[in-house]
Amino acid sequence: MEHELRAEYADGSSPGDDDPSVKTWHVVRGADSTAMCGRDLDPASAVRSVDLWGTGKVPICHSCGALFLRESP
Ligand SMILES: [Zn+2]
């Protein structure tokens, strides 16, 4: 199963903004817009490679991180 990171936006920001403020990144399975921690994310939200997980470059949801670790080989 392919995992991806999906953005949760800060209050007042939305995917349609010119420069939306991302609050944290959640891990989703494939094209699912519900994060592994159970949070519903906007289907229009930005998606990034899960390779960013563990690099410390982006803020990532701790619940998703723990669940993702369990599914990673
Ligand atoms: Zn999460």
- Quick check: helix, strand or coil at residue 37? coil
Q: What is the mean pLDDT of the chain?
A: 93
Strand partners, 22: 9
Amino acid identity of 31?
A: A
pLDDT tens-place string over residues 32-50: 899 999 999 999 999 999 9
Token representation of residue 33 = 């817009």
* Mean pLDDT confidence for 47-70: 93
Angstrom distance (rounded) from CA 38 to CA 52: 20
Q: How far is the CA of 42 from the centre of ligand 1 (A)?
A: 13
CA atoms within 13 A on the CB side of 50: 18
* Mean pLDDT confidence for 53-57: 89
Q: How far is the CA of 27 from the centre of ligand 1 (A)?
A: 6
- Residue 32 neighbours by CB distance under 10 Å: 15
pLDDT bracket for residue 20 (50, 70, 90): very high
Q: How far is the CA of 18 from the centre of ligand 1 (A)?
A: 24
pLDDT bracket for residue 30 (50, 70, 90): confident
